[in-house]
A and B are shown apart, each in its own frame.
Chain A
Amino acid sequence: MLRLIGRRLVLMIPTLILVSILIFALAEVFVPGSVGRSILGPYATEEQVQLLNERLGADRPIVVRYASWAGGFVTGDWGESALLKVPVRPLVMDAFWHSLLLAGFALVLIVPTSIALGVFAGLRRDSLLDRAITVSSLSMTVIPEFVSGVVLLYVFAVWLKWLPSFALPPDGAPFYERLYYLILPAIPLMFLELGYIARMARVGTVQVLSMPYIRTAVLKGVPRSRVVFGHVLRNALVPTVTVIGSQVGWLIGGLVVVEKLFTYPGIGRLMVEAALAHDIPLLEASVLLVAVVYMVANLIADIVVALLNPRIRMGG
């Protein structure tokens, strides 16, 4: 098991270097026009643009700029935001923790519900209940989050005024109040993910149920609850966990629409704003951090799968 983790961690290093080169190239090499001009806008004079380019170091050779940025990232010096003139690291980490909290809260709602629904549907395969769960969860999945988000906002915040329209609570709010503010933004995410994960859990359950060892257990007279929790669930969850692992990165770094709609200062919104404003240091650091999150989430998913499935663990 430790060998598996160690090997995966070592593999992450070249991947990260490759990703960092890609991010740097996309942000600094392939972007048309001057960084200074895109920041200052059309009404700035050429002297102002030149001055800003010099101040940002945008006139240095490309290799020097990459080495300086990558080295700084590793040592914790993520530079200064070109536009906001504040250190990038606290800015990105603050947004990251906000995103982590929203993603964590959403996962707490999504994972147990979708697995329960999926397994339940799988156990009652082809029944009316199975069809109802499958159709309704799939229907929710196809509703884009900006549609469900706007409807929920209008109904629960503007019309009924039951829930806050902001996702960000006042400064110093206790933890439970923070979660209260996250209820509305978490629901569109739940809609999106529910059908996907429930379907995986259902398919896994149906497959496992057709395995000879389950038939043997049933014929042996093992109680149904033990068959479900001891055998079916354990094996049916392997593909589900892999899917959840791949979704965690998106839930943290990809919630641009939800963050914008609910005015939540997460890392997705930060990345988009940094890209639009050509704030290169801020963009590079936040994208690289999200890339790390994707890798770590997949690593954790692999570890959980390995724990669930001894064949993977032993073969690892």
Chain B
Amino acid sequence: MASAKFEREYGQHLVEQVLKGKMTRRQLLVRASVFGLSLTAAGQLLAACGGDDSGTTASPSASGAPEPVIGGSIKWIGPAPITDPDPVTIYDQGGIVLVYQFLEYLIDLNNDNSLRGKLAESWTPNDSVDVWTFKLRSGVTFNDGSPFGAEDVVTSMERVLDPDNGSGALSQLNGVLSPGGTKAVDDLTVEFSLDKPFADFPYMVSSGNYNTAILPRTYKGDIIKNPVGTGPFLLDQYTPKQRATFKKNPTYWGKDEQGRQLPYLDSTEYIMVEDNSAQNLQLQSGAVDLQPQTVFQGAQALFQDPNLRVDIYPGTGIREVAFNTTVEPWNGANGKQLRQAVAYCLDRVAINKALYDGRSNLGYDTFWDPAVFAGSPPVPEERAQDYEKAKALLSEAGMADGMKIKLTFAKYLENPQLAQLIQEQCKPAGITVELDQLSYDAYYAGDDADYYGTTPWINAAMTITEWGSRPAPGIYAAAMLLPDAVWSSSHWDNTTFVDAFNHYEATVDEASRMELATTLSQTQQDDTPIMVPFYITQLRTQKKNVYGVQGPGSFYCDLSAAFMTA
């Protein structure tokens, strides 16, 4: 997929890293995908490394699946789009799963956060990693018959980069790609000239940055009236707040491994229901076949239902417990010890058990965690509850008699339970946690003239904020740990971290990246600007005769290879 020279050189580099024991086979697959190496090429690299292929991951729903059944229809359930589902501005699950049926991205995310070419066949960086060249898939047409080409990619990117369009994609692309940075080299080649070197750039034009869906160059902002895309389904009917129906796109370019035309299904119907309990009841009654996102709270009955199968995926969503490093007591010379003291009070296993039935991945206050993000160095320390250490740190910081702190959070999802657990677990160390529970609106409210200077979620001394999935540690860090990140609740400004991060994103040399990632991970964990007690596992529920549903994380539901047996 990538250019032969790059594929050869970079491939050889990855093989060397594996043979030297500096990278696992799974990490090789993820890194190969980020730099656009084809599956065949990745397979050859694995063979060159020797051993078995245990590093590969299979979709849970695909494993043991019977032969696909062609035709039929399924009913699936989830929330209604909160707004008019304009792909340029959508941000909610209902809107994203809806447009994902008939729109596509340059690149798709796999369940293990590796990348899979969709409308792009290959992508390669230049030596300085600030120019990326994407080769597009040929022979693809939009469902109105117009051909797909480089100009559609350029207009789609320019649209989300225009600040007047209010696209959330800017939150990731800001400072990396500017308007005018996307050029059509020919009909099927696009070149992205970045503002700075960025090795994780392919993630930013993948389904992991959901506003970057490719729209026709003529798009006028009326996706429901003119649902034109390259995806596997056609939007048939849309009744706001009630349902949407989709028909098979007869001209879809996709084929399965046996060369059969995708999608298998003739049609699907999306039922819009806000309430999770009501969604679960519909599943249990057999009225619907699939729920792309199942929340843990209330899902026990689904696990026990003999007619349903709950797929469990490693997720990357977190609850960020941030210390505002600019205010008392977290600032100053002793701030670090106090932050660490709180981190050593946490019994992460007990928290995971209480909130997620022990099914989520434990977090150790660093984003570079190999259990969650392949390609990460080992976690510096798997932090466990250690009251002796916590008390020693408090003493070192001149707080031997303990301290009183305030934890601010929204009454939303499992935040209140997490806050109570933190409160209970801090008590034996002499840390009294006052819980400041706000309504969701109050927690995220702020003065219009200076929103980020006034809103509690950015400015309170200690906060819990919910974050959806991010595909790579660098994407998380850029959004919340750099001094210029607008969503930084910790207001952390660490020179070692910033320097290492800039070098990390500017190199494709895996040995250097691993060294830099080690520095980043150590610095983040040691300074503890935020606590990450867990990475939330994702659940998807379907009837036992539904197979082939794809899509990582909560916000995607790829039904192109889905089918239902009798």
Contacts and interface: CB of A to CB of B under 8 A. Distances in A.
Interface of A: 32-34, 37-52, 81, 83-86, 91, 153-154, 157-158, 161, 164-166, 168, 171, 260-263, 265, 270, 273, 277
Contacts of B287: 157, 164-166
A50 to B, nearest CB: 8
B67 interface: no
A270 B80 CA distance: 12
Interface in B223-276: 237, 240-242, 271, 273-275
B52 interface: no
A7 to B, nearest CB: 39
A36 to B, nearest CB: 8
Contacts of A263: 271, 273, 278, 282
Contacts of A41: 91, 444
B330 to A, nearest CB: 21
Contacts of A84: 81, 83-84, 240-241
B54 interface: no
B561 interface: no
B72 interface: no
A34 B170 CA distance: 22
6 contacts: A32-B445, A37-B446, A84-B81, A84-B84, A153-B285, A261-B281
A43 B168 contact: yes
B331 interface: no
B166 interface: yes
B300 to A, nearest CB: 14
Nearest to A157: B285
Which of A47, A153, A263 has most B Cβ within 10 Å? A263
Contacts of A39: 83
Contacts of B444: 41-42
Given A33-B445, A45-B170, A48-B166, A161 B82 contact: no
Contacts of B80: 273
Contact of A43 (B237, B271, B284, B487): B487
A157 B163 CA distance: 49
Contacts of B170: 45
Nearest to A156: B285
Interface residues of B, number: 38
Nearest to B468: A43
Interface in B433-454: 441, 444-446, 448, 451-452
Contacts of B164: 51
B180 interface: no
A171 B444 CA distance: 39
A33 to B, nearest CB: 5
A42 B166 CA distance: 14
Contact of B281 (A32, A83, A157): A157
B14 to A, nearest CB: 35
A152 to B, nearest CB: 11
A158 B448 contact: no
A158 B284 contact: yes
B486 interface: yes
A32 B444 CA distance: 12
Contacts of A46: 448, 451-452
A37 B451 CA distance: 9
A198 B163 CA distance: 62
**Chain B contact surface mostly:** loop
A168 B278 CA distance: 14
B417 interface: no
Given A38-B441, A48-B166, A166-B282, 20 more contacts: A32-B441, A32-B445, A33-B441, A33-B446, A37-B448, A39-B83, A41-B444, A42-B446, A42-B455, A43-B168, A45-B171, A49-B451, A51-B166, A52-B166, A84-B240, A85-B84, A260-B274, A260-B275, A260-B278, A273-B274
B147 interface: no
Interface string B130-166: 0000000000000000000000000000000001101
A34 B81 CA distance: 21
Nearest to B452: A46
Nearest to B85: A84
A84 B85 CA distance: 8
B457 interface: yes
Interface string B284-317: 1111000000000000000000000000000000
A28 to B, nearest CB: 15
Contact of A168 (B168, B242, B274, B452): B242
B241 A273 contact: yes
Contacts of B274: 260, 273
A270 B273 contact: no
A158 B451 contact: no
Nearest to B282: A165
B281 A165 contact: yes
A42 B457 contact: yes
A157 B283 CA distance: 11
Nearest to A98: B242
Contacts of A33: 441, 445-446, 448
Interface in B72-100: 80-84, 91
B278 A43 contact: no
Contact of A158 (B242, B281, B445, B486): B281
Contact of B171 (A37, A43, A91, A158): A43
B443 to A, nearest CB: 8
Contacts of A165: 281-282, 285, 287
Nearest to B275: A260
Interface string B328-372: 000000000000000000000000000000000000000000000
Nearest to B168: A43
Interface in B479-504: 486-487
B401 to A, nearest CB: 37
A157 B287 CA distance: 9
Nearest to A55: B166
A44 B284 contact: no
A258 to B, nearest CB: 11
B83 A161 contact: no
Contacts of B285: 153, 157-158, 161, 164-165
A125 B397 CA distance: 79
A146 to B, nearest CB: 10
A43 B91 contact: yes
Which of B84, B241, B273 has most A Cβ within 10 Å? B241
Given A157-B285, A158-B281, A261-B278, A45 B486 contact: yes
A34 B281 CA distance: 36
B326 to A, nearest CB: 19
A42 B451 CA distance: 9
A86 B242 contact: no
A285 B508 CA distance: 57
B166 to A, nearest CB: 4
B240 A153 contact: no
Given A41-B91, A49-B451, A84-B83, A270 B241 contact: yes
Which of A39, A43, A44 has most B Cβ within 10 Å? A43
Contacts of B284: 158
Given A33-B441, A84-B83, A84-B84, A49 B448 contact: yes
Contacts of A51: 164, 166
A86 B84 contact: yes
Nearest to B284: A158
A3 B120 CA distance: 75
